Chain A
């Protein structure tokens, strides 16, 4: 009881040192979960970035590997529209694709400036959209839905439309002769398209992409995509998408052999616009790695600081401890009293930590700091007890 009397008077009459020690220990105990929370915040930001930052895949101005091939083969392009497992379509959405064949009217010849262009959606040709400066006058109620599906309908250029006469049912139709683009001499077909709209952008006729597919199939001609753009459904599927694309495109893997496309015969015009995602995620992951690297060093520092603080707190009272032992306090009791005082000083910090970060957060770190605190204090108490006679002989 006498020992507790002394501890009590100490806490009541000179509270600055124990309060300072309690504050220091509180701060030290808050650090590890604070760091862990920072790392968690960064990880959540990584997840958020993966969920929210848009990534697009762009295949445009496609050229082969120095051969005569032009355009992305249908088998590859169609994969973007096919959302079955294992296809590129499983990983993308909002595909905007364009493919074309040449057309002529009447007895005119075929030129590359008169094309029947199939679009998967109006936005597949930026210059064709109203935002791109093009005006489209829709004759019926189809509007942009013209390009969905494979109906035999089109948006015709103004010059072409002005030469047409409506059918008895009031519908304008145009008969076109078609050849694949680039043209092959023996492949040709004809088609009659309903004019659903009129535009003033060049001489090209625009129709649904599905119609071009059908036309090429009818002509037994290969179909090539002129351009293809899509949004990635989930950035978490990006690695798998890149693996799929790298079967046909070089440059997907920045660490791959830059000349592999010459050996593999793959295309080299695919671009995945994930720069913003990579920048964001890389920066966050760098921060996370830094925090994880710092964690053990900070913990060592905190344990050392706690141990030293408790050591010096008890050491500052070494004469009183020695005196207590000289008066008949057991060494064990003195050490227990010092440990109990330190435990009391640890409680506020532990309580604050549990309230803010939850019970169990970084419990190992809390345990380490507590053990070092108790060890430092007990070591000082034992040292004082062992040197009691010398300490008591020293002048104050």
Chain B
């Protein structure tokens, strides 16, 4: 059984001039342990689709099932907390919390004890290459690559089955970006998590197990 199944998802928004169908009847399945890429031109609806799959927005029609359970509005918060996490292009770390505290945050939301949360967070930070010297730094004291690693560590620490990354290398140099993609790929394969990366970068698409291409709000065959 697929980990995530999306059926005929639709999402549109109205502007003064017209109605934009950002996602128009998209269906897909994601398997556990898969590393997927979602590509397409700017404005094709990739980020919108990602937001629907990550539970950040609610589709206007269609359904999403995760582990056979349909995602409805009343379970989205728990879904985002326990099942799906998102890595953003702009890192999105809490600016006044240290790197360690940022990684502990989702664990505390999952009602882990502070001690457990600290232990897990430190382990994940080291796993992504941020040793103890980074723990007490604030995000502003890190480079872009280090911040993205911290964001990935936060996602890993949450232990969610689904990881969605929205242009995670968009603000990074190619070398660092390559390292990040390798890290995500190893997360999916080694920890059996499903990783979906939205990207313009075709080299990332090449590294994926499967590629979804979007155009005009629809998935290309």
Contacts and interface: CB of A to CB of B under 8 A. Distances in A.
Interface of A: 1-2, 5-6, 9-10, 13-14, 319-320, 323, 325-331, 388-389, 392-396
Interface of B: 47, 51, 54, 56-57, 77-78, 80-82, 85-86, 88-92, 94-97, 101, 104-106, 108-111, 158, 166, 171
A331 B110 CA distance: 16
Nearest to B110: A328
Determine which residue in B47, B54, B56, B110 has the highest number of CB atoms from chain A within 10 A of its CB, and name it: B56
A393 B101 contact: no
Contacts of A9: 94, 96-97, 101
Q: Which 4 A-B pairs have CB atoms at the shortest separation, nearest pair first?
A: A328-B81, A2-B108, A389-B56, A328-B80
Given A5-B108, A395-B89, 10 more contacts: A1-B108, A2-B108, A9-B101, A320-B94, A328-B110, A329-B81, A392-B86, A393-B89, A393-B90, A396-B90
B109 A327 contact: yes
A14 B138 CA distance: 13
A71 B85 CA distance: 105
A5 B105 contact: yes
Contact of B96 (A13, A328, A395): A13
B194 to A, nearest CB: 18
A22 B9 CA distance: 47
11 contacts: A1-B108, A2-B105, A5-B105, A13-B96, A320-B94, A325-B77, A328-B106, A329-B77, A331-B77, A392-B88, A395-B171
Nearest to A14: B96
Contacts of A394: 90
Nearest to B52: A389
A389 B58 CA distance: 11
Given A5-B101, A393-B166, A327 B90 contact: no
Nearest to B171: A395
B56 A328 contact: no
B56 A327 contact: no
B96 A327 contact: no
Contact of B92 (A2, A330, A392): A392
A329 B96 contact: no
Contacts of B88: 392-393
Contact of A327 (B47, B85, B95, B101): B85
B121 to A, nearest CB: 12
Nearest to B79: A328
A10 B86 CA distance: 23
Nearest to A331: B77
B94 A328 contact: no
Contacts of A10: 96
Contacts of A2: 104-106, 108-109
A327 B80 contact: yes
B106 A6 contact: no
Contact of A328 (B82, B92, B101): B82
Contact of A326 (B56, B97, B110, B111): B56
A388 B81 CA distance: 15
Nearest to B83: A328
Contacts of A396: 90-91
Contact of A389 (B57, B81, B101, B171): B57
Nearest to A323: B92
Contacts of B106: 2, 327-328
A134 B158 CA distance: 108
Contacts of A388: 56
A1 B107 CA distance: 10
Nearest to A11: B96
B146 to A, nearest CB: 15
Contacts of B171: 395
A388 B158 CA distance: 20
A223 B138 CA distance: 102
B90 A328 contact: no
Nearest to B50: A389
Contacts of B57: 389
A5 B77 CA distance: 19
A373 B54 CA distance: 33
A125 to B, nearest CB: 88
A394 B97 CA distance: 20
B102 to A, nearest CB: 10
B77 A330 contact: yes
A331 B73 CA distance: 12
Nearest to A327: B106
B140 to A, nearest CB: 10
A383 to B, nearest CB: 16
A332 to B, nearest CB: 9
Nearest to B96: A13
A328 B171 CA distance: 25
B94 A395 contact: no
Contacts of A329: 77, 81, 109
A6 B97 contact: yes
Contacts of A393: 47, 88-90, 166
A326 B86 contact: yes
B57 to A, nearest CB: 6
B118 to A, nearest CB: 12
B51 A389 contact: yes
Contacts of A389: 51, 56-57
